[in-house]
Structure 1
């Protein structure tokens, strides 16, 4: 909470530096009650930290294209040594899905290089002769309507009796083991072929109803490279992150010498046998060398705010046109409401009938509009945009520290409660 004029000036200077493309203003200028917001958010955050939902977190909220709230709470770990800072870099986990491969797929769709309703095997030849997969479309995959199984634990392929298999993992880099996934851990370059084979052979349900599956996300970067003829990460930087002014958003942050502090995630007792810090937490993404469509992106709250503000603006940001409005509308609308499937294309959406539910049952906050969209991440991240309310909500935490068994972020409904504050915060409160 900003408690003095000096703190306000420091905060304003930071915002002008870090958020140059998204100006800072106070909540009152957009019709919201700043005192109410500060009191409510502070109370929710302090309870969350006390109950060990996470050791620390930060929240950024923009309204009408202006940042009205950006505060940090707590510490990186429960030893209370490193305070959370506003420019900290976080492991975004599954938020990667809508900030990494999805904008590339949207652009290729817009350019007529991808057909949402054509068989996916047009772009992934291995499925052409798979009886259960040859008719699956990209639309079905992105809306989690394909019947694909939710997940495959590829870590089980490289760990036996608690030890890493030397045929897949080495402690030193070489020509065949150049993909570093942690300090002193390198995965075989061709391990991704094993990943793809397992996905190709995976079971598909005949029941074409909503079932969340992250498997296709592991394939998307390869498809994007095949269609564009460009390196996946280079394509993302050129087409999206640089035009938006996103300075930290990307993969493998440990290799980029950022001055920002990277927030640690979990004490890994199975794979890395140490605190996961600076390298992707998700094991499947790690085994793909840290670059994947399901996880692997890192970034700051301000970078994510720019990306989500662009989508809130239906494809434009600070004079740059990233997408046509029709593209954003197509991908952010519910695809299969008749099957009670709330999902858009890649984007998560509010529960159908969300506005009729109380805060304990709703997802996300009850008052978000049906037009809103976003995604959550396993590490404790959550980003959401509401074009109708002109509201962007960015929440970053490392709730998996010290262990993923810490689930009070869910049990206490922390993120929906925080989000709801900004819908309740009219000047009459």
Structure 2
């Protein structure tokens, strides 16, 4: 009898481990009408392509741990040569912030190696003697409540007045001194990283503590993570998150991966690379760091992103492993400064405050998402969102910046909130 009970317990444990992975399912298995869903999504996607919001895109939706929708639309470019495929790899832009440095910071937090409410200068020494920065906390930085300026164009520092590159920073051939690759024929001196850090250190900080989105600290996080762990930033992410999740495409510098997946092009760069940015990070600041940064630089497929977001929905558990503690995820995904009209979590974006009272034209994201939901958007046209209350993961990938970043119909047409809304209005168990 005891052997029988032990065997049953073992089987149950094995089933729990299996159920902690994403599986393929059907809309009907989760109470949706597949024809109705596809008809509505197809209509919005075709509108986006016709109105040149993007040349192509794809959408993956998982409900209750099952992928119930994953379709690809359009082409990589407007010449309609290469069709979008479900396993294509995209430049994730600012989605990097929550899939790159953030899980590492979450793990360091739960290990007691960083304190959200201690001054960031405790861990980043160059800020200790900066009057306007020495008391800024990591919580304020992650919630965009620090007063830091939004952005610095570091690209200006690599050019002479005649618009030629300064040879101490950029060269056309790789060498020991110029080892970080920007594009096929451009290499940056790793010491330029120090110039970036100095400029951030000298940047102005507002005295007023209000919500102000800033990506500057994200440029620092990879180096901070290396300092605190004694390991390379990319290997730390790979070993602690991407490999356990079974993410085969997620990572930096995709050309070094050697995978067969097609990489979707981003913008035709007329400033730095003088060519199409395909497999090279679109963001210029990340490019000047050699493509490995906390603000941008990650590439990945829709399925890999879904695995990561599903892990968060499952309170840190995936494939039988506990990658993050439930209480850590809860802390990082809650609104930090609601009294300051700041909707942000720690690193994660959140719905607008009062989002459920807004129309689809004014909401962010869809009005029907729960207050517990979270995610992030990327400049290149990417968007990931998780709703633990409704057990819904939403992954939208596009290259809306092709051929240039002036294409803004993805915003004007509310493409992503409208797509997201389809999976709430047609669900029988939506909870706000």
Aligned to 2:241: 240
Aligned to 1:17: none
Aligned to 1:398: 399
> Which secondary structure does the structure 2 equivalent of 1:164 belong to?
coil
Please give the residue correspondences for 1:78-227 in structure 2 after superposition, counting only pairs within 5 Å. Answer: 78-160=78-160, 161-227=162-228
Alignment of 1:366 onto 2:360: no
Please give the residue correspondences for 1:225-374 in structure 2 after superposition, counting only pairs within 5 Å. Answer: 225-374=226-375
CA contact (8 A) 2:21 2:65 kept: no
**Alpha-carbon distance between aligned partners in 1 of 2:403 and 2:164, rounded to the nearest angstrom:** 22
**Alpha-carbon distance between aligned partners in 2 of 1:62 and 1:162, rounded to the nearest angstrom:** 48
Shift of 1:158: 1.2
Aligned to 2:39: 39
**Alpha-carbon distance between aligned partners in 2 of 1:127 and 1:162, rounded to the nearest angstrom:** 32
Aligned to 2:6: none
Q: Deviation string for 1:133-183 (max 9, x for gaps)?
A: 011000000000000000000011113444322221100011110001100
CA contact (8 A) 1:28 1:427 kept: no
Aligned to 1:62: 62
**Alpha-carbon distance between aligned partners in 2 of 1:192 and 1:426, rounded to the nearest angstrom:** 48
**Alpha-carbon distance between aligned partners in 2 of 1:364 and 1:295, rounded to the nearest angstrom:** 21
> Which secondary structure does the structure 1 equivalent of 2:23 belong to?
coil
Aligned to 2:14: none
Shift of 1:258: 1.1
CA contact (8 A) 1:33 1:427 kept: no
**Alpha-carbon distance between aligned partners in 1 of 2:86 and 2:353, rounded to the nearest angstrom:** 34
Q: Deviation string for 1:361-403 (max 9, x for gaps)?
A: 0000000000000000000000000000100000000000000
Q: Any stretches of 5+ residues in structure 1 without a counterpart?
A: 1-19
Aligned to 2:7: none
> Which secondary structure does the structure 2 equivalent of 1:72 belong to?
strand
**Alpha-carbon distance between aligned partners in 2 of 1:163 and 1:425, rounded to the nearest angstrom:** 56
Q: Deviation string for 1:284-325 (max 9, x for gaps)?
A: 000001000000000000000000000011111121101110
CA contact (8 A) 1:177 1:189 kept: yes
CA RMSD of aligned residues (A): 1.3
> Which secondary structure does the structure 1 equivalent of 2:266 belong to?
coil
Aligned to 1:22: 22
CA contact (8 A) 2:315 2:325 kept: yes
The alignment's TM-score, normalised by the length of structure 2, stands at 0.94
CA contact (8 A) 1:217 1:293 kept: yes
CA contact (8 A) 1:108 1:114 kept: yes
CA contact (8 A) 1:266 1:401 kept: yes
CA contact (8 A) 1:33 1:426 kept: no
Q: Any stretches of 5+ residues in structure 2 without a counterpart?
A: 1-19
**Alpha-carbon distance between aligned partners in 2 of 1:267 and 1:185, rounded to the nearest angstrom:** 16
Aligned to 2:10: none
Shift of 1:34: 1.4
**Alpha-carbon distance between aligned partners in 1 of 2:321 and 2:70, rounded to the nearest angstrom:** 24
> Which secondary structure does the structure 1 equivalent of 2:24 belong to?
coil
